[in-house]
Protein backbone atom coordinates (compact mmCIF):
# COMPACT_ATOMS: atom_id res chain seq x y z
CA UNK A 1 0.00 0.00 0.00
CA UNK A 2 1.08 3.60 -0.68
CA UNK A 3 2.40 5.43 2.39
CA UNK A 4 3.01 9.15 3.03
CA UNK A 5 6.65 10.08 2.38
CA UNK A 6 7.13 11.31 5.97
CA UNK A 7 6.66 7.75 7.27
CA UNK A 8 6.02 8.85 10.84
CA UNK A 9 5.09 5.90 13.02
CA UNK A 10 2.12 6.74 15.25
CA UNK A 11 1.47 4.96 18.53
CA UNK A 12 -1.83 3.61 19.76
CA UNK A 13 -1.97 5.95 22.74
CA UNK A 14 -3.56 5.08 26.06
CA UNK A 15 -6.97 6.61 26.29
CA UNK A 16 -9.74 7.35 28.75
CA UNK A 17 -12.50 4.75 29.00
CA UNK A 18 -15.81 5.77 30.59
CA UNK A 19 -17.59 4.18 33.52
CA UNK A 20 -21.00 2.67 32.70
CA UNK A 21 -22.77 5.80 33.94
CA UNK A 22 -20.47 8.09 31.94
CA UNK A 23 -21.17 5.94 28.88
CA UNK A 24 -24.89 6.15 29.55
CA UNK A 25 -24.74 9.94 29.56
CA UNK A 26 -22.66 10.13 26.40
CA UNK A 27 -23.92 11.07 22.97
CA UNK A 28 -22.29 7.93 21.55
CA UNK A 29 -24.66 5.72 23.50
CA UNK A 30 -27.74 7.84 22.86
CA UNK A 31 -30.34 6.82 20.27
CA UNK A 32 -30.81 8.37 16.85
CA UNK A 33 -33.53 8.20 14.22
CA UNK A 34 -32.72 7.46 10.61
CA UNK A 35 -35.67 8.30 8.41
CA UNK A 36 -39.30 7.94 9.33
CA UNK A 37 -39.32 4.68 11.24
CA UNK A 38 -35.84 3.37 11.96
CA UNK A 39 -34.15 4.14 15.27
CA UNK A 40 -30.70 3.06 16.37
CA UNK A 41 -30.23 2.44 20.08
CA UNK A 42 -26.81 4.01 19.92
CA UNK A 43 -24.69 5.94 17.43
CA UNK A 44 -22.20 3.13 16.90
CA UNK A 45 -21.88 1.52 13.48
CA UNK A 46 -19.99 -1.33 11.86
CA UNK A 47 -19.63 -0.21 8.24
CA UNK A 48 -19.68 -2.53 5.24
CA UNK A 49 -16.68 -4.86 4.99
CA UNK A 50 -16.27 -7.71 2.53
CA UNK A 51 -14.94 -10.68 4.55
CA UNK A 52 -14.71 -13.13 1.58
CA UNK A 53 -16.96 -15.74 3.09
CA UNK A 54 -19.75 -16.16 0.51
CA UNK A 55 -19.78 -19.15 -1.88
CA UNK A 56 -18.62 -18.85 -5.50
CA UNK A 57 -22.34 -18.60 -6.31
CA UNK A 58 -22.71 -15.56 -4.01
CA UNK A 59 -24.63 -17.42 -1.31
CA UNK A 60 -24.51 -17.17 2.47
CA UNK A 61 -22.26 -19.68 4.30
CA UNK A 62 -22.02 -20.75 7.97
CA UNK A 63 -18.71 -18.83 8.08
CA UNK A 64 -20.45 -15.65 6.94
CA UNK A 65 -23.25 -16.07 9.48
CA UNK A 66 -20.65 -16.58 12.21
CA UNK A 67 -18.72 -13.46 11.12
CA UNK A 68 -21.77 -11.19 11.33
CA UNK A 69 -23.12 -12.95 14.42
CA UNK A 70 -19.83 -12.14 16.15
CA UNK A 71 -20.14 -8.41 15.36
CA UNK A 72 -23.75 -8.52 16.55
CA UNK A 73 -22.65 -9.81 19.96
CA UNK A 74 -20.96 -6.42 20.45
CA UNK A 75 -24.40 -4.81 19.97
CA UNK A 76 -23.51 -1.83 17.79
CA UNK A 77 -26.34 0.48 16.81
CA UNK A 78 -26.14 -0.86 13.26
CA UNK A 79 -24.21 -3.31 11.13
CA UNK A 80 -24.03 -2.76 7.39
CA UNK A 81 -23.61 -6.05 5.56
CA UNK A 82 -20.82 -6.03 2.99
CA UNK A 83 -21.07 -4.75 -0.59
CA UNK A 84 -23.59 -7.16 -2.16
CA UNK A 85 -24.00 -7.51 -5.93
CA UNK A 86 -27.35 -6.46 -7.37
CA UNK A 87 -27.00 -8.37 -10.64
CA UNK A 88 -27.61 -12.03 -11.26
CA UNK A 89 -24.19 -12.66 -12.74
CA UNK A 90 -21.24 -14.74 -11.51
CA UNK A 91 -19.12 -12.49 -9.29
CA UNK A 92 -16.79 -14.90 -7.46
CA UNK A 93 -17.26 -15.22 -3.70
CA UNK A 94 -19.03 -11.88 -3.33
CA UNK A 95 -22.39 -11.87 -1.65
CA UNK A 96 -25.28 -11.42 -4.07
CA UNK A 97 -28.87 -10.20 -3.98
CA UNK A 98 -29.64 -10.24 -7.71
CA UNK A 99 -32.36 -12.93 -7.60
CA UNK A 100 -35.03 -14.23 -5.24
CA UNK A 101 -33.09 -17.49 -4.77
CA UNK A 102 -30.71 -15.52 -2.49
CA UNK A 103 -33.55 -14.56 -0.16
CA UNK A 104 -33.51 -17.59 2.10
CA UNK A 105 -29.85 -17.15 2.97
CA UNK A 106 -30.24 -13.41 3.44
CA UNK A 107 -33.20 -13.97 5.77
CA UNK A 108 -30.97 -16.24 7.85
CA UNK A 109 -28.33 -13.52 7.96
CA UNK A 110 -30.79 -10.92 9.22
CA UNK A 111 -32.16 -13.35 11.81
CA UNK A 112 -28.63 -14.18 13.00
CA UNK A 113 -27.75 -10.52 13.56
CA UNK A 114 -31.00 -9.76 15.32
CA UNK A 115 -30.70 -12.88 17.51
CA UNK A 116 -27.02 -12.51 18.39
CA UNK A 117 -27.53 -8.89 19.39
CA UNK A 118 -30.66 -9.80 21.36
CA UNK A 119 -32.57 -7.43 19.13
CA UNK A 120 -30.34 -4.45 19.93
CA UNK A 121 -28.64 -4.04 16.53
CA UNK A 122 -30.26 -2.89 13.30
CA UNK A 123 -29.01 -4.46 10.07
CA UNK A 124 -28.65 -2.81 6.69
CA UNK A 125 -27.17 -4.15 3.48
CA UNK A 126 -24.90 -2.34 1.06
CA UNK A 127 -26.04 -2.67 -2.57
CA UNK A 128 -23.32 -2.50 -5.18
CA UNK A 129 -22.92 -2.47 -8.92
CA UNK A 130 -19.47 -2.78 -10.43
CA UNK A 131 -18.07 -2.89 -13.94
CA UNK A 132 -15.86 -5.58 -15.38
CA UNK A 133 -12.22 -5.71 -14.40
CA UNK A 134 -9.91 -8.39 -15.78
CA UNK A 135 -6.76 -9.82 -14.27
CA UNK A 136 -3.50 -8.48 -15.63
CA UNK A 137 -2.65 -10.71 -18.60
CA UNK A 138 0.78 -12.03 -19.52
CA UNK A 139 2.38 -9.93 -22.29
CA UNK A 140 2.20 -12.69 -24.90
CA UNK A 141 -1.37 -13.56 -24.12
CA UNK A 142 -2.42 -9.93 -24.38
CA UNK A 143 -0.61 -9.26 -27.65
CA UNK A 144 -1.63 -12.59 -29.20
CA UNK A 145 -5.22 -12.91 -28.00
CA UNK A 146 -6.72 -9.84 -26.35
CA UNK A 147 -5.46 -6.99 -28.48
CA UNK A 148 -7.68 -6.14 -31.45
CA UNK A 149 -5.30 -5.19 -34.26
CA UNK A 150 -6.38 -1.95 -35.93
CA UNK A 151 -5.21 0.36 -38.68
CA UNK A 152 -3.90 2.70 -35.96
CA UNK A 153 -1.41 0.00 -34.92
CA UNK A 154 -0.28 -0.42 -38.53
CA UNK A 155 0.16 3.33 -38.97
CA UNK A 156 2.06 3.71 -35.70
CA UNK A 157 4.32 0.76 -36.46
CA UNK A 158 5.01 2.04 -39.98
CA UNK A 159 5.87 5.48 -38.59
CA UNK A 160 8.05 4.25 -35.73
CA UNK A 161 9.91 1.67 -37.81
CA UNK A 162 10.02 3.88 -40.94
CA UNK A 163 8.57 1.02 -42.98
CA UNK A 164 5.52 1.90 -45.10
CA UNK A 165 4.96 -1.73 -46.05
CA UNK A 166 3.57 -2.19 -42.52
CA UNK A 167 0.56 -0.09 -43.50
CA UNK A 168 -0.73 -3.16 -45.35
CA UNK A 169 0.63 -5.77 -42.93
CA UNK A 170 -1.49 -8.78 -41.99
CA UNK A 171 -2.69 -9.17 -38.43
CA UNK A 172 -0.07 -11.86 -37.83
CA UNK A 173 2.76 -9.62 -38.99
CA UNK A 174 1.55 -6.80 -36.74
CA UNK A 175 1.37 -9.15 -33.75
CA UNK A 176 4.85 -10.53 -34.51
CA UNK A 177 6.27 -6.99 -34.49
CA UNK A 178 4.48 -6.13 -31.27
CA UNK A 179 5.67 -9.30 -29.55
CA UNK A 180 9.25 -8.44 -30.45
CA UNK A 181 8.88 -4.77 -29.49
CA UNK A 182 10.63 -3.05 -26.58
CA UNK A 183 8.22 -1.45 -24.17
CA UNK A 184 9.16 2.03 -25.45
CA UNK A 185 7.94 1.00 -28.90
CA UNK A 186 4.72 -0.38 -27.43
CA UNK A 187 4.24 3.02 -25.76
CA UNK A 188 4.24 4.57 -29.25
CA UNK A 189 2.09 1.99 -30.99
CA UNK A 190 -0.66 1.07 -28.53
CA UNK A 191 -3.30 3.49 -27.29
CA UNK A 192 -3.29 4.63 -23.65
CA UNK A 193 -6.20 2.36 -22.92
CA UNK A 194 -4.55 -0.65 -24.56
CA UNK A 195 -1.38 -0.02 -22.58
CA UNK A 196 -3.44 0.10 -19.41
CA UNK A 197 -5.13 -3.21 -20.31
CA UNK A 198 -1.70 -4.75 -20.95
CA UNK A 199 -0.09 -3.47 -17.77
CA UNK A 200 -3.01 -3.52 -15.32
CA UNK A 201 -5.73 -5.69 -16.92
CA UNK A 202 -8.77 -4.47 -18.82
CA UNK A 203 -11.00 -2.19 -16.79
CA UNK A 204 -14.36 -0.93 -18.02
CA UNK A 205 -15.35 2.66 -17.35
CA UNK A 206 -18.69 4.44 -17.29
CA UNK A 207 -17.37 6.55 -20.16
CA UNK A 208 -17.02 3.59 -22.57
CA UNK A 209 -19.97 4.89 -24.57
CA UNK A 210 -19.17 2.76 -27.60
CA UNK A 211 -20.27 -0.27 -25.57
CA UNK A 212 -24.01 -0.73 -25.46
CA UNK A 213 -24.15 -2.17 -21.93
CA UNK A 214 -22.22 0.83 -20.61
CA UNK A 215 -24.20 3.37 -22.61
CA UNK A 216 -27.39 1.83 -21.21
CA UNK A 217 -26.37 1.92 -17.55
CA UNK A 218 -28.74 4.83 -16.78
CA UNK A 219 -31.60 2.80 -18.27
CA UNK A 220 -30.91 -0.44 -16.37
CA UNK A 221 -29.42 0.52 -13.01
CA UNK A 222 -32.43 2.20 -11.35
CA UNK A 223 -34.52 -0.93 -11.80
CA UNK A 224 -31.69 -3.28 -10.76
CA UNK A 225 -31.09 -1.32 -7.55
CA UNK A 226 -34.84 -1.07 -6.91
CA UNK A 227 -35.39 -4.82 -7.27
CA UNK A 228 -32.42 -5.56 -5.02
CA UNK A 229 -33.79 -3.15 -2.40
CA UNK A 230 -37.19 -4.85 -2.51
CA UNK A 231 -35.46 -8.19 -1.94
CA UNK A 232 -33.54 -6.71 0.99
CA UNK A 233 -36.77 -5.40 2.44
CA UNK A 234 -38.51 -8.75 2.09
CA UNK A 235 -35.51 -10.56 3.63
CA UNK A 236 -36.06 -8.42 6.74
CA UNK A 237 -33.17 -5.96 6.50
CA UNK A 238 -33.88 -2.75 8.40
CA UNK A 239 -32.64 -0.67 5.50
CA UNK A 240 -30.41 -0.50 2.44
CA UNK A 241 -27.25 1.42 1.73
CA UNK A 242 -26.64 2.42 -1.88
CA UNK A 243 -22.94 2.00 -2.58
CA UNK A 244 -21.93 5.26 -4.25
CA UNK A 245 -18.35 5.12 -2.91
CA UNK A 246 -14.88 3.93 -3.88
CA UNK A 247 -14.08 2.41 -7.28
CA UNK A 248 -17.49 1.19 -8.38
CA UNK A 249 -20.13 2.14 -10.93
CA UNK A 250 -22.13 4.73 -9.03
CA UNK A 251 -19.06 6.51 -7.64
CA UNK A 252 -17.73 6.62 -11.18
CA UNK A 253 -20.87 8.44 -12.29
CA UNK A 254 -20.34 11.02 -9.54
CA UNK A 255 -16.67 11.46 -10.36
CA UNK A 256 -15.24 14.45 -12.23
CA UNK A 257 -13.65 11.77 -14.43
CA UNK A 258 -17.15 11.08 -15.75
CA UNK A 259 -17.19 12.88 -19.09
CA UNK A 260 -20.15 11.03 -20.62
CA UNK A 261 -21.92 13.14 -23.22
CA UNK A 262 -25.44 11.79 -22.63
CA UNK A 263 -26.65 14.09 -19.81
CA UNK A 264 -25.23 11.69 -17.17
CA UNK A 265 -21.71 13.12 -17.21
CA UNK A 266 -19.88 16.43 -17.21
CA UNK A 267 -21.31 18.98 -14.78
CA UNK A 268 -22.10 18.12 -11.14
CA UNK A 269 -25.81 18.33 -11.98
CA UNK A 270 -25.42 15.70 -14.68
CA UNK A 271 -23.07 13.47 -12.68
CA UNK A 272 -25.49 13.29 -9.78
CA UNK A 273 -28.43 12.58 -12.06
CA UNK A 274 -28.13 8.77 -12.15
CA UNK A 275 -27.42 8.44 -8.40
CA UNK A 276 -30.59 10.47 -7.79
CA UNK A 277 -32.59 8.44 -10.30
CA UNK A 278 -31.40 5.22 -8.66
CA UNK A 279 -32.40 6.57 -5.25
CA UNK A 280 -35.78 7.62 -6.56
CA UNK A 281 -36.45 4.19 -8.13
CA UNK A 282 -35.43 2.50 -4.87
CA UNK A 283 -37.59 4.85 -2.82
CA UNK A 284 -40.62 4.25 -5.05
CA UNK A 285 -40.11 0.51 -4.78
CA UNK A 286 -39.67 0.24 -1.00
CA UNK A 287 -42.00 3.02 0.12
CA UNK A 288 -41.44 6.14 2.16
CA UNK A 289 -41.09 4.38 5.54
CA UNK A 290 -38.14 2.17 4.67
CA UNK A 291 -34.61 3.33 5.49
CA UNK A 292 -32.58 4.13 2.37
CA UNK A 293 -29.16 5.73 2.71
CA UNK A 294 -26.02 6.01 0.63
CA UNK A 295 -22.30 5.71 1.16
CA UNK A 296 -20.20 8.09 -0.90
CA UNK A 297 -16.81 9.78 -0.85
CA UNK A 298 -15.90 12.96 1.00
CA UNK A 299 -12.91 13.18 -1.37
CA UNK A 300 -11.77 10.89 -4.18
CA UNK A 301 -8.08 11.73 -3.57
CA UNK A 302 -7.18 11.23 -7.22
CA UNK A 303 -5.82 13.68 -9.73
CA UNK A 304 -8.69 15.42 -11.48
CA UNK A 305 -11.23 13.68 -9.23
CA UNK A 306 -13.91 14.99 -6.88
CA UNK A 307 -12.83 16.96 -3.85
CA UNK A 308 -14.69 17.94 -0.72
CA UNK A 309 -16.45 20.79 -2.55
CA UNK A 310 -18.04 18.33 -4.96
CA UNK A 311 -18.88 16.02 -2.07
CA UNK A 312 -20.51 18.87 -0.15
CA UNK A 313 -22.64 19.75 -3.13
CA UNK A 314 -23.67 16.11 -3.66
CA UNK A 315 -24.44 15.73 0.05
CA UNK A 316 -26.94 18.58 -0.04
CA UNK A 317 -28.57 17.09 -3.16
CA UNK A 318 -28.82 13.64 -1.56
CA UNK A 319 -30.33 15.17 1.57
CA UNK A 320 -32.76 17.22 -0.52
CA UNK A 321 -33.83 14.05 -2.33
CA UNK A 322 -34.77 12.56 1.04
CA UNK A 323 -32.06 10.01 1.77
CA UNK A 324 -32.36 8.75 5.33
CA UNK A 325 -28.64 8.91 6.10
CA UNK A 326 -25.33 9.56 4.40
CA UNK A 327 -22.25 7.53 5.24
CA UNK A 328 -18.96 9.13 4.28
CA UNK A 329 -15.86 7.31 3.15
CA UNK A 330 -12.71 8.44 1.33
CA UNK A 331 -10.74 7.40 -1.77
CA UNK A 332 -10.35 3.73 -2.66
CA UNK A 333 -10.04 4.24 -6.42
CA UNK A 334 -8.64 2.30 -9.36
CA UNK A 335 -7.11 5.38 -10.97
CA UNK A 336 -4.07 5.38 -8.67
CA UNK A 337 -3.94 1.66 -7.89
CA UNK A 338 -0.55 -0.06 -8.11
CA UNK A 339 0.22 -2.34 -11.00
CA UNK A 340 -0.89 -5.87 -10.05
CA UNK A 341 1.23 -8.96 -10.67
CA UNK A 342 0.43 -10.95 -13.81
CA UNK A 343 -2.65 -13.06 -13.08
CA UNK A 344 -3.97 -10.63 -10.44
CA UNK A 345 -6.57 -7.88 -10.75
CA UNK A 346 -5.83 -4.28 -9.76
CA UNK A 347 -6.95 -3.52 -6.21
CA UNK A 348 -8.34 -0.05 -5.55
CA UNK A 349 -6.72 0.37 -2.12
CA UNK A 350 -3.03 0.26 -3.10
CA UNK A 351 -2.50 3.91 -4.06
CA UNK A 352 -2.80 7.14 -2.09
CA UNK A 353 -6.58 7.07 -2.42
CA UNK A 354 -6.53 3.61 -0.84
CA UNK A 355 -4.34 4.88 1.97
CA UNK A 356 -6.79 7.67 2.72
CA UNK A 357 -9.60 5.11 2.85
CA UNK A 358 -7.83 2.85 5.36
CA UNK A 359 -4.86 4.79 6.74
CA UNK A 360 -2.20 2.94 8.72
CA UNK A 361 0.02 3.96 11.63
CA UNK A 362 2.85 4.72 9.18
CA UNK A 363 1.60 8.16 8.29
CA UNK A 364 2.35 11.87 8.07
CA UNK A 365 2.19 14.38 10.93
CA UNK A 366 -1.62 14.28 10.93
CA UNK A 367 -1.68 10.54 11.56
CA UNK A 368 -4.29 7.92 10.71
CA UNK A 369 -6.89 8.63 13.38
CA UNK A 370 -9.88 10.51 11.97
CA UNK A 371 -7.76 12.32 9.37
CA UNK A 372 -10.76 12.84 7.07
CA UNK A 373 -13.12 14.07 9.78
CA UNK A 374 -12.59 17.78 8.94
CA UNK A 375 -13.89 17.17 5.40
CA UNK A 376 -16.75 15.03 6.66
CA UNK A 377 -17.64 17.75 9.18
CA UNK A 378 -17.73 20.33 6.37
CA UNK A 379 -20.19 18.21 4.44
CA UNK A 380 -22.39 17.83 7.50
CA UNK A 381 -22.26 21.57 8.19
CA UNK A 382 -23.34 22.35 4.62
CA UNK A 383 -26.23 19.90 4.87
CA UNK A 384 -27.33 21.47 8.16
CA UNK A 385 -26.86 24.91 6.58
CA UNK A 386 -29.32 23.85 3.88
CA UNK A 387 -31.71 22.92 6.71
CA UNK A 388 -31.64 19.15 6.33
CA UNK A 389 -31.17 16.99 9.41
CA UNK A 390 -29.96 13.89 7.55
CA UNK A 391 -27.74 11.83 9.89
CA UNK A 392 -24.10 11.68 8.81
CA UNK A 393 -22.03 8.57 9.46
CA UNK A 394 -18.31 9.36 9.69
CA UNK A 395 -15.41 6.93 9.36
CA UNK A 396 -11.67 6.51 9.09
CA UNK A 397 -9.32 5.56 11.92
CA UNK A 398 -11.86 5.85 14.73
CA UNK A 399 -10.82 3.66 17.64
CA UNK A 400 -11.56 5.18 21.03
CA UNK A 401 -14.46 6.46 23.07
CA UNK A 402 -12.81 9.86 23.56
CA UNK A 403 -12.37 10.35 19.85
CA UNK A 404 -15.86 9.13 18.92
CA UNK A 405 -17.56 11.18 21.62
CA UNK A 406 -15.64 14.30 20.70
CA UNK A 407 -16.65 13.93 17.02
CA UNK A 408 -20.29 13.80 18.10
CA UNK A 409 -19.99 16.58 20.70
CA UNK A 410 -18.34 18.89 18.17
CA UNK A 411 -21.11 18.22 15.64
CA UNK A 412 -18.69 16.70 13.15
CA UNK A 413 -20.87 13.65 12.65
CA UNK A 414 -24.02 11.99 14.01
CA UNK A 415 -23.00 8.32 13.97
CA UNK A 416 -19.52 6.87 14.32
CA UNK A 417 -18.40 3.97 12.15
CA UNK A 418 -15.43 1.78 13.05
CA UNK A 419 -14.38 -0.98 10.67
CA UNK A 420 -10.93 -2.19 11.67
CA UNK A 421 -11.37 -1.54 15.41
CA UNK A 422 -14.50 -3.72 15.17
CA UNK A 423 -12.53 -6.51 13.48
CA UNK A 424 -9.87 -6.22 16.18
CA UNK A 425 -12.50 -6.50 18.91
CA UNK A 426 -16.10 -7.08 17.82
CA UNK A 427 -17.19 -6.54 21.43
CA UNK A 428 -15.54 -3.16 21.73
CA UNK A 429 -18.66 -0.98 21.66
CA UNK A 430 -20.30 -3.16 24.29
CA UNK A 431 -17.18 -3.19 26.45
CA UNK A 432 -17.08 0.62 26.33
CA UNK A 433 -20.72 0.79 27.31
CA UNK A 434 -20.23 -1.62 30.21
CA UNK A 435 -17.20 0.27 31.55
CA UNK A 436 -14.80 -2.48 30.45
CA UNK A 437 -12.73 -0.32 28.12
CA UNK A 438 -9.45 -1.59 29.59
CA UNK A 439 -10.11 -5.07 28.18
CA UNK A 440 -10.57 -3.91 24.58
CA UNK A 441 -8.17 -5.36 22.01
CA UNK A 442 -7.00 -2.25 20.27
CA UNK A 443 -6.51 -2.26 16.53
CA UNK A 444 -2.87 -1.79 15.50
CA UNK A 445 -3.84 -0.13 12.18
CA UNK A 446 -1.20 -2.09 10.27
CA UNK A 447 -3.71 -3.50 7.76
CA UNK A 448 -3.05 -7.23 7.96
CA UNK A 449 -6.83 -7.62 7.45
CA UNK A 450 -6.80 -5.35 4.42
CA UNK A 451 -3.92 -7.35 2.90
CA UNK A 452 -6.07 -10.49 3.18
CA UNK A 453 -8.91 -8.63 1.49
CA UNK A 454 -6.54 -7.65 -1.30
CA UNK A 455 -5.75 -11.33 -1.95
CA UNK A 456 -9.45 -12.22 -1.71
CA UNK A 457 -8.63 -14.40 1.30
CA UNK A 458 -11.01 -14.78 4.22
CA UNK A 459 -10.48 -11.66 6.33
CA UNK A 460 -9.39 -12.20 9.93
CA UNK A 461 -7.70 -10.08 12.62
CA UNK A 462 -4.03 -10.46 13.49
CA UNK A 463 -4.76 -9.95 17.19
CA UNK A 464 -6.83 -13.12 17.48
CA UNK A 465 -6.76 -15.42 14.47
CA UNK A 466 -4.12 -17.77 15.93
CA UNK A 467 -5.57 -17.77 19.45
CA UNK A 468 -7.15 -20.85 21.15
CA UNK A 469 -7.14 -22.88 17.97
CA UNK A 470 -8.08 -25.98 19.98
CA UNK A 471 -11.49 -24.52 20.88
CA UNK A 472 -14.13 -27.15 19.99
CA UNK A 473 -16.26 -26.47 16.90
CA UNK A 474 -14.07 -23.63 15.60
CA UNK A 475 -14.62 -22.50 12.03
CA UNK A 476 -11.20 -22.36 10.38
CA UNK A 477 -9.91 -20.61 7.25
CA UNK A 478 -9.54 -22.68 4.09
CA UNK A 479 -5.77 -22.88 4.66
CA UNK A 480 -6.56 -24.45 8.06
CA UNK A 481 -4.31 -21.98 9.90
CA UNK A 482 -6.60 -19.26 11.18
CA UNK A 483 -9.78 -19.11 13.21
CA UNK A 484 -12.47 -17.16 11.37
CA UNK A 485 -14.07 -15.31 14.28
CA UNK A 486 -12.64 -13.54 17.30
CA UNK A 487 -12.63 -15.46 20.59
CA UNK A 488 -15.13 -14.31 23.23
C1 LIG B 1 -11.53 -5.95 4.94
C2 LIG B 1 -12.26 -4.71 4.58
C3 LIG B 1 -13.31 -4.76 3.66
C4 LIG B 1 -14.02 -3.60 3.32
N5 LIG B 1 -15.11 -3.68 2.49
C6 LIG B 1 -15.89 -2.58 2.28
C7 LIG B 1 -17.13 -2.67 1.60
O8 LIG B 1 -17.60 -3.74 1.21
N9 LIG B 1 -17.83 -1.52 1.40
C10 LIG B 1 -17.40 -0.31 1.87
O11 LIG B 1 -18.08 0.71 1.66
N12 LIG B 1 -16.24 -0.20 2.55
C13 LIG B 1 -15.49 -1.31 2.78
N14 LIG B 1 -14.36 -1.20 3.55
C15 LIG B 1 -13.98 0.12 4.12
C16 LIG B 1 -14.51 0.27 5.56
O17 LIG B 1 -15.92 0.23 5.60
C18 LIG B 1 -14.04 1.58 6.20
O19 LIG B 1 -14.56 2.67 5.50
C20 LIG B 1 -12.52 1.71 6.23
O21 LIG B 1 -11.93 0.51 6.70
C22 LIG B 1 -12.09 2.87 7.14
O23 LIG B 1 -12.61 2.71 8.42
P24 LIG B 1 -11.70 2.20 9.67
O25 LIG B 1 -10.57 3.15 9.78
O26 LIG B 1 -12.64 2.23 10.83
O27 LIG B 1 -11.22 0.82 9.34
C28 LIG B 1 -13.64 -2.35 3.89
C29 LIG B 1 -12.58 -2.31 4.82
C30 LIG B 1 -11.90 -3.46 5.17
C31 LIG B 1 -10.78 -3.38 6.18
S1 LIG C 1 -5.58 -7.00 11.35
FE2 LIG C 1 -6.50 -6.40 13.26
S3 LIG C 1 -5.06 -5.06 14.25
FE4 LIG C 1 -4.46 -5.18 12.10
S5 LIG C 1 -5.48 -3.46 11.13
FE6 LIG C 1 -6.82 -5.23 10.88
S7 LIG C 1 -8.18 -5.13 12.63
FE8 LIG C 1 -6.47 -3.78 13.10
Q: In whole angstroms, what is the distance from residue 144 CA to residue 138 CA?
A: 10
Fold of 16-132+207-330+371-415: TIM Barrel (3.20.20)
How many other C-beta atoms lie within 10 A of the C-beta of residue 209? 14
Nearest-atom number in ligand 2 for the CA of 420 is 7
Pairing of strands 8-9, 362-363: antiparallel
Q: Label residue 106 exposed, middle or buried (CB < 10 Å: 0-12, 13-18, 19+).
A: buried
CA distances from 423 to 83, 212, 462 (A): 17, 41, 9
pLDDT tens per residue, range 313-362: 999 999 999 999 999 999 999 999 999 999 999 999 999 999 999 999 99
434 phi/psi in degrees, rounded to 5: -90, 5
Give the mean pLDDT of 12-24.
97
Q: Minimum-distance ligand to the CA of 442?
A: 2
- CA quadruple 93, 298, 433, 29: dihedral sign: negative
Which residues form the pocket of ligand 1, taking CB atoms under 6 Å from any ligand atom? 47-50, 82-83, 126, 245, 295, 329, 357-358, 395-398, 418-421, 449-450, 453, 459
Q: Are the C-beta atoms of residues 48 and 469 closer than 8 Å to each other?
A: no
pLDDT the model gives residue 92: 87
Nearest-atom number in ligand 2 for the CA of 450 is 6
Q: Which of 328, 308, 331 is nearest to 394 (CA)?
A: 328
Give the orientation angle of helix 273-286 with respect to helix 308-321, to 10 degrees.
30
- CA quadruple 431, 432, 434, 437: dihedral sign: positive
Structural element, H or E, at residue 122: strand 122-128
Give the mean pLDDT of 15-21.
98
Residue 289 makes CB contacts below 8 A (sequence gap 6+) with 35, 36, 37
Domain boundaries, the chain: 16-132+207-330+371-415, 139-200
Q: Is the pLDDT of residue 144 over 90?
A: yes
Could you tell me the distance, in angstroms and rounded to a whole number, from the CA of residue 447 to the centre of ligand 2?
Answer: 5
Q: Are the C-beta atoms of residues 372 and 396 closer than 8 Å to each other?
A: yes
Give the mean pLDDT of 422-433.
98
Give the mean pLDDT of 15-43.
98
Q: Which of 145, 182, 135, 181 is nearest to 341 (CA)?
A: 135
Q: Whose CA is nearest to atom 3 of ligand 1?
A: 49
CA distances from 239 to 175, 302, 335, 364, 472 (A): 53, 31, 31, 37, 35
pLDDT tens per residue, range 357-395: 999 999 999 999 999 999 999 999 999 999 999 999 999
Give the mean pLDDT of 254-264.
98
In the chain, the largest separation of any two C-alpha atoms, in whole Å, equals: 85
Q: Is the pLDDT of residue 249 over 90?
A: yes
Q: Is the pLDDT of residue 1 over 90?
A: no
Q: In whole angstroms, what is the distance from residue 139 CA to residue 127 CA?
A: 35
Q: Which of 365, 429, 354 is nearest to 396 (CA)?
A: 354
Q: Are the C-beta atoms of residues 332 and 246 closer than 8 Å to each other?
A: yes
Tell me the DSSP string of 187-243: HHHS-HHHHHHHHH--B--TT-TTSHHHHTHHHHHHHHHHHHHHHHHHHT-SEEEEE
Q: In whole angstroms, what is the distance from residue 276 CA to residue 290 CA?
A: 17
Could you tell me the distance, in angstroms and rounded to a whole number, from the CA of residue 129 to the centre of ligand 2?
Answer: 27
Q: Give the CB-side neighbour count of residue 81, counting CA atoms within 13 A.
A: 36
Measure the N-to-C terminal CA separation of the chain; round to a whole number of Å.
31
Q: In whole angstroms, what is the distance from residue 167 CA to residue 62 CA?
A: 60
* Secondary structure of residue 118 in the 3-state scheme: coil
- CA quadruple 394, 399, 401, 402: dihedral sign: negative
Q: For ligand 2, say whether the CB of 463 is within 6 Å of any of its atoms.
A: yes
CA distances from 364 to 9, 11, 87, 370 (A): 8, 13, 40, 13
- CA quadruple 381, 382, 383, 385: dihedral sign: positive
Pairing of strands 44-46, 78-85: parallel
Could you tell me the distance, in angstroms and rounded to a whole number, from the CA of residue 67 to the centre of ligand 1?
Answer: 15
pLDDT tens per residue, range 47-97: 999 999 999 999 999 999 999 999 999 999 999 999 999 999 998 899 999
How many other C-beta atoms lie within 10 A of the C-beta of residue 208? 17
Q: Give the CB-side neighbour count of residue 47, counting CA atoms within 13 A.
A: 27
Nearest-atom number in ligand 1 for the CA of 399 is 26
How many other C-beta atoms lie within 10 A of the C-beta of residue 478? 11
Q: Whose CA is nearest to atom 20 of ligand 1?
A: 358
Phi-psi region of 358 (alpha: psi -120 to 50; beta: other; left: phi over 0): beta
Model confidence at 457, pLDDT cuts 50, 70, 90, reads very high
Give the mean pLDDT of 205-218.
98
CA dihedral of residues 194, 195, 197, 201 (deg, nearest 10): 170
pLDDT tens per residue, range 159-205: 999 999 999 999 999 999 999 999 999 999 999 999 999 999 999 99
Percentage of the chain beyond pLDDT 90 is 99
Amino acid sequence: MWKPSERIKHRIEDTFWPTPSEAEQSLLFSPIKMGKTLSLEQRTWVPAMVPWRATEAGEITPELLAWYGRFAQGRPGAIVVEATGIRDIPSGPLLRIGHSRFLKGLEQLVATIHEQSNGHTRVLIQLIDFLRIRRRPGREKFLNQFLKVTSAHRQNLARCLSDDSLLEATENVVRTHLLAAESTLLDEVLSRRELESLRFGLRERVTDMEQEHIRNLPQVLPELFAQAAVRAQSAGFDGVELHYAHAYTMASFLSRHNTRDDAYGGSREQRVRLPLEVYSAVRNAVGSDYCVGARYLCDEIIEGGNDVDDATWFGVEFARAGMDYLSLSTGGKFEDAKQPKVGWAAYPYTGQSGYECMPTVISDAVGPFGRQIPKQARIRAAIRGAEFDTPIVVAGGIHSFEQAESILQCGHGDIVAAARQSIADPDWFRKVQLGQGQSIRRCLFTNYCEALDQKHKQVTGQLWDKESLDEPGLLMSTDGKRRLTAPK
